[in-house]
Amino acid sequence: MSWEAWLVVVMILMVLGALVSNRVGPDIVLVGAVTVLVLVDIVVPGAEILSTKDALAGMANEGMLTVAIMYVVVRGLSETGGVGWIGQRVLGRPKTLLAAQVRMMLPVTTLSAFLNNTPLVAMFIPVIGDWCKRQGISPSKLMLPLSYAAILGGTCTLIGTSTNLVVAGLWVGHFADLPSIGFFEIAKIGVPASIVGLAYLFFAGRFLIPERKPALDVGLDPRAYTVEMEVEGGSGLVGKTIEQAGLRHLPGLYLAHIERGGQSLPAVGPDEKLFAEDRLVFVGVVDSIVELQKIRGLRPATNQVVKLDAPRPQRCLIEAVVSNTSPLVGRSVREGRFRTVYNAVVIAVARNGERITNRKIGDIVIRAGDTLLLEAHKSFQEQHRNSRDFFLVSAVENSTRPRHEKALLAVGIMAGMILLATFGEPLGIKTIHAAALGAGLMLLTRCCTGAQARSSVDWQVLVVIASGFALGRALEVTGAADVIASQLIAIAGGNPWVTLAVVYLTTMVFTELITNNAAATLVFPIAIGAADKLGANPLPFAIAIMMAASACFSTPIGYQTNLMVMAPGGYKFSDYLRVGIPLNSLMAIVTITLVPFIWPLMPA
């Protein structure tokens, strides 16, 4: 290899070492590596490593831009409460972690066989995050299985992942006189491999997945708010029991009592049915109150919320600590006339961990030091942060109430986008076109605002994806990838089965380091050339490349869905190694063992 190729290999190894150490953010590590390679290319005369154009090409890559646009679509789904709607129907209320993983992974695996993995995972990330908050389960226990389930399902059909289509296209280009690879051809190995992979995740892998975020505990937070909610007439909650409505065992929150027709029902049991206009009094921490506000069919019991002079998308929850010089001290919440004086409504009150026994929020007499949870315009914090009425004013993150009336519309837009991305290929419609249309509809129908759309984009993920493309390009340009792949395959000698194994393992290693499509593209011509020299059937080699290029379980940088779940799950680089290496090994064993029996290596 040339010195340029060796430099790229060394740089890749250094990147992997830095990512494993987890001391520096992945975006900084990858951008730093790309910058070094570009500078060497500029400073050293005659060097051909990574041009500025190639380094920036990842920013214009369709895959990276599709992920960026998908953040907007998912924000629309989240802002309308569509996330919770999907979660209730797909995840339900399983009693155990294993049941939750089964309820999530089986539908995702099935859907990913026919739908693009990226929008599918993007859709489920907020669904699972929302569900985990309600059930008190760490998101880290489900986010990585989500990505793995999508990857496994993608190996079951020709359209399950873009890599399969890339290999199918390369096959047609090399063998115009042979039949093309059928729609369900890969399912002959993909389905058995998926079954083995799911079994591993259900019974062994789940013990290797870390628990990064503990569930909320109301007993640990002195700011235990008392909040009063009302059951909306005609909503889906009417007629359901407390258990069926999902209002029992809420993390960091408990139902103190119900007011119905002027009577109080204390010690409410799980079988108690809900009626229209029931007033439910909860006690809990602020994060739980925020989630309570998002439940469809519940609204703040005070009618002052409807009268607020601010559109719903521009409102949020504000925490304000009452000062000892405030004119509110000694007055009840009702007497304080919050809507008139502050254009805000008191939703809940916390008093240094003390249980407030008043039945109605409006009757609570305010004391100095009380923390008020307000619903107000987002400008409230800026307007009153220096006010003598409050010691401290702070906005609660992600506290805007969902626009439930648009939930089904947002779900419909998401479903239409996925179908268009999957079946629009004959019309020339790509995934990026479908995603852009979905994002545009979310904005046009006001499922989310422009400001919300802009703030929803996770730039760290996008920078990592773009930088990954640049490093892959450096491997190609310097010839490092070609030399490494050729040497590895030469090790197999003249044995067709060993050659197949080396093809699979080479592709698997490459897909963990660069993108899966790049790995398949690099190895395919070398593998087909080896099969031709051996006089072997080329189809099993093509199938092995499809399976191996999709078997990206051990690093977050090889496949974009692994990157997408990294932040929501709170994962470290080492988590992927611990859970993914055994899964990679199982996939290799299943594929290398079964492929020669399904497609004979040597023609009869």
Question: Given pLDDT bands bounded at 50, 70 and 90, which one contains residue 308?
Answer: low
Question: Given pLDDT bands bounded at 50, 70 and 90, which one contains residue 63?
Answer: low
Q: pLDDT per residue over 149-167, tens digit each?
A: 999 998 998 777 777 877 8
Both tokens of 423, joined, read: 């079946």
* 184 and 223 co-located in one domain: no
* 485 and 563 co-located in one domain: yes
* 566 and 493 co-located in one domain: yes
Residue 315 has a pLDDT of: 79
Residue 437 neighbours by CB distance under 10 Å: 19
Number of domains in the chain: 2
For the cut 50, the answer to whether the pLDDT of residue 43 exceeds it is yes
Where among 339, 365, 395 does a domain terminate? Answer: 395
Domain membership flag for residue 128: yes
Residue 220 has a pLDDT of: 42
- Counting every residue, how long is the chain? 604
For the cut 60, the answer to whether the pLDDT of residue 495 exceeds it is yes
Buried b (16+ CB within 10 A) or exposed e, 466-487: bbbbbbbbbbbbbbbbbebbee
Distance linking the first and last C-alpha atoms of the chain: 39
As a whole number, the mean pLDDT across the chain is 81
As a whole number of angstroms, the distance between CA 30 and CA 40 comes to 16
For the cut 90, the answer to whether the pLDDT of residue 496 exceeds it is no
Domain membership flag for residue 20: yes
For the cut 90, the answer to whether the pLDDT of residue 593 exceeds it is yes
Both tokens of 42, joined, read: 């500029």
For the cut 50, the answer to whether the pLDDT of residue 218 exceeds it is no
Tell me the β-bridge partners of 349.
Answer: 226, 372
Q: Is 161 left (phi over 0), alpha (psi -120 to 50) or beta?
A: beta
Residue 145 has a pLDDT of: 92
Helix (H) or strand (E) holding 130: helix 117-135
* 235 and 311 co-located in one domain: yes
* 22 and 165 co-located in one domain: yes
As a whole number of angstroms, the distance between CA 510 and CA 484 comes to 10
Domain membership flag for residue 446: no
Q: pLDDT per residue over 82-123, tens digit each?
A: 766 666 677 766 777 788 888 889 988 988 887 667 767 877
Domain membership flag for residue 569: yes
Residue 601 has a pLDDT of: 86
Domain membership flag for residue 1: no
* 192 and 304 co-located in one domain: no
Q: pLDDT per residue over 184-196, tens digit each?
A: 889 999 999 999 9
Question: Given pLDDT bands bounded at 50, 70 and 90, which one contains residue 197?
Answer: very high
Where among 395, 428, 448 does a domain terminate? Answer: 395
Residues 6+ apart with CB under 8 A from 484: 9, 506
208, 586 Cβ separation under 8 angstroms: no
* 229 and 98 co-located in one domain: no
* 128 and 200 co-located in one domain: yes
Q: How far is CA 168 from the centre of its chain?
A: 29
Residue 311 has a pLDDT of: 67
* 114 and 164 co-located in one domain: yes
Q: At 504, is the secondary structure helix, strand, or coil?
A: helix
Domain membership flag for residue 444: no
* 378 and 522 co-located in one domain: no
Q: pLDDT per residue over 505-561, tens digit each?
A: 988 988 887 667 777 877 887 788 788 878 889 999 999 999 998 888 988 877 778
Residue 153 has a pLDDT of: 93
For the cut 80, the answer to whether the pLDDT of residue 493 exceeds it is no
The domain in which residue 73 lies consists of 8-211+459-598
Provide mean pLDDT across the span 157-178. Answer: 79
Domain membership flag for residue 430: no
Domain membership flag for residue 309: yes
Q: pLDDT per residue over 365-422, tens digit each?
A: 888 888 888 888 888 888 888 888 888 888 887 667 777 778 889 888 988 887 887 6
139, 87 Cβ separation under 8 angstroms: no
* 21 and 162 co-located in one domain: yes
CATH number (domain holding residue 389): 3.30.70.1450
Nearest alpha-carbon partner for 104 in 156, 142, 161: 142
Residue 459 has a pLDDT of: 80
As a whole number of angstroms, the distance between CA 92 and CA 149 comes to 18
Helix (H) or strand (E) holding 284: strand 279-284
3-state SS record for 287-332: HHHHHHHCCCCEEECCHHHCCCCCCHHHEEEEEEEECCCCCCCCCE
Question: Given pLDDT bands bounded at 50, 70 and 90, which one contains residue 598?
Answer: very high
3-state SS record for 74-116: HHHHHHCCHHHHHHHHHCCCCCCHHHHHHHHHHHHHHHHCCCC
**What does residue 394 show for φ and ψ, rounded to 5 degrees?**
-145, 140
Where among 395, 423, 447 does a domain terminate? Answer: 395
* 226 and 325 co-located in one domain: yes
Residue 531 has a pLDDT of: 83
Question: Given pLDDT bands bounded at 50, 70 and 90, which one contains residue 252?
Answer: low
As a whole number of angstroms, the distance between CA 520 and CA 509 comes to 11
Q: Is 329 left (phi over 0), alpha (psi -120 to 50) or beta?
A: beta
116, 422 Cβ separation under 8 angstroms: yes
Tell me the β-bridge partners of 332.
Answer: 365
pTM of the model: 0.65
Residue found by looking up tokens 């066989």 in the block? 113
Residue 217 has a pLDDT of: 43
Nearest alpha-carbon partner for 346 in 386, 390, 405, 313: 390
Question: Given pLDDT bands bounded at 50, 70 and 90, which one contains residue 437?
Answer: very high
Higher pLDDT, 599 or 253: 599
**What does residue 225 show for φ and ψ, rounded to 5 degrees?**
-80, 150
